[in-house]
Amino acid sequence: MPEHTYERVAFFSGEKIPLEMHKARMVQRVHLRPVGERLAVLTSTGNNTFLLPNRDVFLDMLTDSGVNAMSEAQYAAMLLADDSYAGSETYYRLEKTVRGFFGLPYFLPAHQGRACENILATAYVKPGDYMVTNYHFTTTKAHVTRLGGLVYECVSDAASETESTDPFKGNYEMAKLESFVDRTGTEKIAFVRIEAGTNLIGGQPVSLENMREVSAFCRRKGLRLVFDASLLADNLYFIKTREKSCMKRPLDEIVLEMCSLMDIIYFSGRKLGCARGGGLALAHEKDYRKLRDFVPLFEGFLTYGGMSVREMEAMNVGIQETLDIDVISQTPLFVEALGEELQAKGIPVVTPFGGLGCHLDAMRFIPHVPQEQYPAGALGSAVYLTSGCRGMERGTMSEQRNPDGSEHLSTVELLRLAVPKRVFTLSQLKFVADRLGWLYEHRDLIGGLEFEDEPETLRFFLGRLRPVGDWQQRLADAFRKDMPSGL
């Protein structure tokens, strides 16, 4: 492991600038289309940033999932992959790493995070059962409700405050958990879930102290505790830098303690490990045997679980690199740098800054757009129009409708501008901040969206929307006035 520079190197000028401990040796050409073309693309792709072709996107800030820049060691490992259906050396290498990293004895591979959720829900959720969680994730909830299950959230009240100083907004409110379990009874609870780096509330972490409390409660009550470790890298960085008792502890020790509190851990290898894949680590043989049978059924044979062996090799190295503070600090420090640029322009962003990306608070950015018109989605289309950058709606559009068909209004309406690891430069982030500054000054022009094609499941992925009125044309005209090249 290289020697760390984190917190040991500072600018003599006193400027707070995140210093990259890597250099780029392969790059990808990107394109910035003029605003007229951006409007045409937006219209033809139903105002859904998931449907934009990458060739029309300048900075792809949709997600970090599967698009973090890999290290040279990851690429090198891919060449060593052992391609066999059963018993590949690659699998055994990955199994050893997963066991060592999480400290749990059993491992099951799966093709990505939601595949693990499918296996978990299929194994444990019966109609009327609950998954209790700090906060839901889109695919997690969809798998539970698809089987007739229900989701109950116990996240602290701070989660809904987009402007806050609470360092661990992803924490469980223990009183909520305890009273829910008392009311409902343990037999109706399929499992309790902790999501690291809570995605939908702005990449907000859970403290180790809170994990200990939840685990102790679950053990007392005999409840199965599941840990979604997809966003573990960011969460680990925040534990190390925000939780006093952990500041001097080595990263591997923190991870091992955290994981020793859990019964089952699953992860998206598109996030944790900076590759493309996933898997489950399990503490108990009983759970392992129950879940194991679903792997050949849904994923593939037990020694590849739907992943290419090359990706498994990359994930193997990527997981080990999670224990390097210079690697895991990169996204949070860049998120902070972008967040501070935006704050200086008065733009409402989620604080404290979290992991994953910078999150714009759409309800404060465009308070005149009602939640029924998807303010975070509308802001996403306005951001693309004025910058060529795409973010992801994390609000009401990402929710499922209530069983009676009414809208389930989200607690928060966020536009996430993801900052995948090692992908963007500071000047690119400054460009985003500059265009957002222009947009904020013209925010009165932004209107809402309405569905023209609304899928029943996970509608935010493939749904198509249209603007309410002609606000996008007016926004594009105003932009061209100030930036005659349209760029």
Enumerate binding residues for ligand PLP (CB under 6 A).
Answer: 65, 112-114, 137, 139, 195, 199, 228, 230-231, 268, 270-271, 278
Token couple for 458: 């996970």
**What is the distance in angstroms between the CA of the first residue and the CA of the last residue of the chain?**
43
Q: For every residue of 425-472, which 3-state class applies, written as one string?
A: CHHHHHHHHHHHHHHHHCHHHCCCEEEEECCCCCHHHHCEEEECCCHH
What CA–CA distance (Å, rounded) separates 272 from 307?
Answer: 15
Catalytic residue among 12, 85, 183, 248: 85
Q: Which is nearer to ligand PLP, 93 or 271 (CB)?
A: 271
> Is the CB of 71 or the CB of 140 nearer to ligand PLP?
140
Question: CB 268 → ligand PLP: shortest distance, Å?
Answer: 3
Query: Does the active-site annotation cover 217?
Result: no
How many whole angstroms separate alpha carbon 80 and alpha carbon 217? 44
Q: Looking at 169, 270, 271, 390, which residue is catalytic?
A: 271
Active site residue 271: yes
Burial of 228 (0-12, 13-18, 19+ CB in 10 A): buried
CA gap 378, 386 in Å, rounded: 12
Tell me the chain's radius of gyration from C-alpha atoms. 22
Taking the complex as a whole, the smallest distance from the CB of residue 308 to ligand PLP amounts, in Å, to 14
Q: How far is the CB of 196 from ligand PLP (least distance, A)?
A: 7
Which is nearer to ligand PLP, 47 or 268 (by Cβ)? 268
Smaller CB distance to ligand PLP: residue 204 or 230?
230
* Cβ distance to ligand PLP smaller for residue 113 or 339: 113
Q: How far is the CB of 109 from ligand PLP (least distance, A)?
A: 13
- The answer to whether 414 and 360 are in contact (CB under 8 A) is yes
**Are the C-beta atoms of 175 and 210 separated by less than 8 Å?**
no
Q: How far is the CB of 117 from ligand PLP (least distance, A)?
A: 7
Which residue type does 150 have? L
Nearer to ligand PLP, 114 or 421 (CB): 114
Q: Specify whether 460 is catalytic.
A: yes
Catalytic member of 38, 193, 394, 459: 394
At closest approach, how far in Å is the CB of 199 from ligand PLP? 4
**Beta carbon nearer to ligand PLP, 194 or 429:** 194
Q: Is 92 among the residues known to form the active site?
A: no
Q: Comparing C-alpha atoms, which of 371, 446, 368, 447 is closest to residue 413?
A: 371
Residue among 106, 107, 137, 237 flagged as catalytic: 137
Interstrand relation of 357-361 and 414-418 (parallel, antiparallel or unpaired):
antiparallel
Q: Is 190 helix (H, G, I), strand (E, B) or coil?
A: strand
Known catalytic residue at 83: no
Report, in Å, the least distance between residue 197 CB and ligand PLP. 7
Which CB sits closer to ligand PLP, 202 or 388? Answer: 202
For ligand PLP, the closer CB: 58 or 266: 266
Question: Pick the catalytic residue: 90, 138, 303, 351?
Answer: 138
Choose the catalytic residue: 135, 168, 365, 460.
Answer: 460
In the annotation, is 374 catalytic?
no
**What token pair was written down for 110?**
């799966």
Q: Assess whether 102 carries a catalytic annotation.
A: no
Closest approach of ligand PLP to the CB of residue 186, in Å: 25
Q: Which residue is nearest to ligand PLP (CB)?
A: 113
Minimum separation from the CB atom of position 108 to ligand PLP (A): 15
* Active-site entry in 60, 129, 228, 361: 228
- Helix (H) and strand (E) counts in the chain: 19, 12
Active site residue ranges = 85, 137-138, 228, 271, 394, 460
